[in-house]
Amino acid sequence: MKIEKLILELEALCEKNGYTIRKERGAFRGDQCVIEGDKLIVVNKNKPPESQAAIMAMVLKQTNSEDTYIKPAVRKELEMLWKKLDRFETSDTAES
């Protein structure tokens, strides 16, 4: 699946889970937050598409997305992203 299509699918999934997505420029990685009760995901426009997809995948991993239908091709991509994120988090804790 092309990364642009994956990003559109991930954005739709995040919105189904109640998040608003904002794409901004700046010196930040991107993450989720809650502002005045609104769930928000901030994505850095300057980062590569793979990094943008990883931010949304990280948020979806933390939500209970089992109740949401995810297309099989998107689920496969998500699971690959989650494995990469798990390896990254594991290497971060090993260095600490």
Spatial distance between the Cα atoms of 79 and 94, rounded to a whole number of angstroms: 22
Spatial distance between the Cα atoms of 10 and 63, rounded to a whole number of angstroms: 13
Are 30 and 38 in contact, with CB atoms under 8 Å apart?
A: no
CA distance readout (Å), 84 to 17, 38, 77, 88: 22, 28, 11, 6
- pLDDT at 96 exceeding the cut of 60: no
- Report the predicted TM-score, pTM, of the whole model to 2 decimal places: 0.86
pLDDT in tens, 33-82: 999 999 999 999 999 999 999 999 999 999 876 778 999 999 999 999 99
Confidence grade of residue 95 (pLDDT, cut at 50, 70, 90): low
pLDDT of amino acid 19: 96
pLDDT in tens, 3-32: 999 999 999 999 999 999 999 999 999 999
Domains of the chain: 3-91 (3.30.2010)
